[in-house]
Chains A and B, each alone.
Chain A
Amino acid sequence: MKIARRSILAAVLPPLLLFLVVLGAWHFSVRHWQIPPFLLPSPGDVGRAALDNFAKLAAASGITAAGALAGFGVSLVVGVCLAILFSQSAIIRRSFFPYAIFFQTVPIVAIAPLIVIWSGTGFRSVVLVAFIVSVFPIITNATAGLTSIDPDLLDLFRLHGASRWQTLFKLRLPGAVPSTVTGAKTSSGLAVIGAIVGEFFVGYDPSEQFGLGYLIQESTQQLKTDLVLCAVVLATVLGLIVFGTVTLIGGLVLRRYSPGG
């Protein structure tokens, strides 16, 4: 117990100290060179802005989190469904895969205007962007998992006259869980980025509450650099929380579905 506590301390203390040193240097530099706050506000300014705009920041974080999670959820469902479809036939896989790659490589900024034309601006479009950005790792990882099943196990199923559905539900899908979890981890991080980028380009709808991406854009235009920094920190924290949660849940799921050593 003592050793565990000491090792936690050893892991936490150095980065914490560095953080304080950087904070101190930042504070000192702003004071010493009298940097104007719109260029670089002091840590104290940023903290004050965070407290003053607490409600606004919390609401924006909530909206962005909701957009990212919705996009990630849609990615998970659509990605796994597409992967199941791909796993059932090599011809389907070969015809669809190039488009899946195309979908992945087209810059989201380039198609943002199209999204606005087709889906308008606002929350729904943000979810759409988060989905487009995050679906690809799910498709590829789940497809790889579904199609790379141990040939001996496939033989075992064949030996007992298993139907296509029995093989899918009793072997392929559970067997694909570990690689799908790997895809989901990547995907969850991308969904947060997608939601923020989406809010930048397609997120503003005057009738709706806005997210961190729009807040960053708006505050930049108003030269509220302290608020921009608050939003950036919150966006990072949000990404970490979402990735951490998915990793944690994924770990629990993996314990059941991956072969033990």
Chain B
Amino acid sequence: MPEQNRNAAEVVADRVGMTFAGGHVAVADASFAIGGGEFVAIVGPSGCGKSTLLRMIAGLMAPSAGVLRVGKGVAAGVTRGSGRIGFVFQDPRLLPWRTASQNVALPLELDHGPQASRSSCVAGALSLVGLAEADATKTPRMLSGGMRMRVSLARALVTEPEILLLDEPFGALDDLLRQQLNDELERIWLARRPTAIFVTHNVSEAVYLAQRILVVTPSPGRIANDVVVPFEYPRRPELKGTGEFARQVGEVSALLRRAAS
């Protein structure tokens, strides 16, 4: 198991809840801690508040109850050290009027990062996700679905985030592409070691990628189980053929079924 990364963000949630204006309780009483550089998957049925939880961690909405702290050293008591965040949406969500590399450069422009290092950061992020140089000058409509997702991933990585939040990022892709990108994601995580929180409803994907899996119950979303996945990194596609993998997937699926009932 890889060690923790002190330069990555930690997440500490203490009885976090989110009740929307209409009275709908999306998340209730969620308590968990995620260490720096950990890869954690959040699985649960649709509409269980997984995305709301992720948005709260991103700081896009404030919890209506409890305390949620994100940043370097928050586990040791630093109040809020909100660091650099990378967010990957379910769809690539690229700006159609910008080329791939201009899309990747966007967060740097918005953050007013130093102009000089921008192009090298962009080139670094693009090569990290395996996008050919020739494709960097293409606009999203000239790229395939998988390529767009890679650009989207590069955009999230370009600021060298301390925490990478992924909201069902490969859900819309076909299975082969999805497996390919899962392997890429694992490689990138091992290379950069940000804290990664991966929301999905695909149990096999969660078991393949994560060190830990948080199983969430639907309406209101509560953390029902915190499962440790014992496999070593780097994980290989062959792992999916083993009985141990199938057993782990079966176990999490059973927890998910129990949580949903």
Contact = CB atoms under 8 A, between A and B. Distances in A.
A-B CB proximity, top 3 nearest: A260-B141, A160-B110, A259-B96
B139 interface: yes
A157 B141 contact: no
Contacts of B58: 155, 159
A161 interface: yes
A164 interface: no
Contacts of B142: 260
Contact of B141 (A152, A153, A159, A259): A259
A31 interface: no
A261 B144 CA distance: 10
A158 B87 CA distance: 11
Nearest to A158: B60
Interface in A203-261: 256-261
Interface of B: 55, 58-60, 85, 87, 89, 91, 93, 95-97, 106-107, 109-111, 139-142, 159
Interface residues of A, number: 23
Given A156-B87, A159-B58, A159-B60, A256 B139 contact: yes
Interface in A157-181: 157-162, 166, 170-171, 174-175, 177
A161 B93 contact: no
Nearest to B84: A160
A257 B97 contact: yes
Contacts of B107: 160
A16 B22 CA distance: 62
B63 to A, nearest CB: 16
A150 B89 CA distance: 12
A166 B55 CA distance: 22
A160 to B, nearest CB: 4
Residue from A155, A161, A174, A177 whose CB has the most chain B CB atoms within 10 Å: A155
